[in-house]
Structure formats: structure tokens, C-alpha cells
């Protein structure tokens, strides 16, 4: 359970970091237009995909994260293997539309796992 909690905490930290980067740049587009913002957001997405992929499938199923994990891991692979080919419009959509939904699921999972350990 502690390994899963560590992964969940790390994913939430990466989401929070992406949100901070966007806020610091005053928007997603401005963050992605800045080379440091772009690199940081891409690394955060890569780490989210990698970490989700390491969570036991029974937890992913329980919290309806199977498709999210596949998508996040595909994004991770694309960033890792074709960094220059990554379409920033797609990254913007992921950050704007997908990341908040993923965060909601991960927060719920985290709360329930916390209550199970207490």
C-alpha cells in the first residue's frame, strides 16, 4: 500500500507543479511558448504517465483509471521518443481538459486509500 501511496502522492505533486508553471506564466499557452515552461510541463506529463503505469491494475480498475493510464502512458512514450514531434496544441488540450479530470480521480483514490489506512 505504501508504494501505491507514494506513486499517488508523486502524481499529485506533478499535477500541482504543472498548475504552478501555468500560473507563473499566466496561462497554458504562454507556458508552452516558453522553452522552460514547455520542458517542465512535458516532463511532468511524462512522469505522470510513467507513475500511473506502475500502479497495480486492481487499483486502476477500482478507480476507473485504466483508459487514463493507457492515454497517459501513450503521451509519456510520445514525449520520450519524439520530443520534437509533440504537437503543443495536443499538449494544451491534455493539460486543459484531461489533467483536471485525472486529478479528480487521483484525489478521490488518495482520500479513500488514506481512510482505509486509518
Q: Specify whether the CB–CB gap between 14 and 44 falls below 8 A.
A: yes
Residue 118 has pLDDT above 70, yes or no: no
What are the sequence ranges of the domains in the chain? 2-111
* pLDDT tens readout for residues 51-72: 999 999 999 999 999 999 999 9
The C-alpha cell at 79 is 514525449
Residues of the chain with pLDDT > 90, as a percent, come to 88
CA distance 103 to 91: 16
Mean pLDDT score, 89-95: 96
Q: Can you give the pLDDT at residue 117?
A: 62
Q: Can you give the pLDDT at residue 28?
A: 97
Amino acid at each position: 500500500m505504501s508504494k501505491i501511496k507514494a506513486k499517488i502522492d508523486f502524481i499529485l505533486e506533478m499535477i500541482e507543479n504543472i498548475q504552478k508553471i501555468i500560473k507563473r506564466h499566466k496561462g497554458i499557452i504562454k507556458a508552452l511558448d516558453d522553452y522552460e515552461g514547455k520542458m517542465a510541463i512535458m516532463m511532468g506529463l511524462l512522469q505522470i504517465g510513467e507513475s500511473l503505469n506502475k500502479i497495480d491494475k486492481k487499483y486502476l480498475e477500482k478507480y476507473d483509471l485504466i483508459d487514463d493510464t493507457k492515454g497517459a502512458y501513450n503521451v509519456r512514450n510520445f514525449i520520450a521518443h519524439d520530443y520534437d514531434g509533440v504537437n503543443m496544441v495536443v499538449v494544451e488540450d491534455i493539460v486543459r481538459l484531461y489533467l483536471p479530470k485525472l486529478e479528480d480521480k487521483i484525489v478521490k483514490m488518495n482520500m479513500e486509500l488514506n481512510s482505509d489506512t486509518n
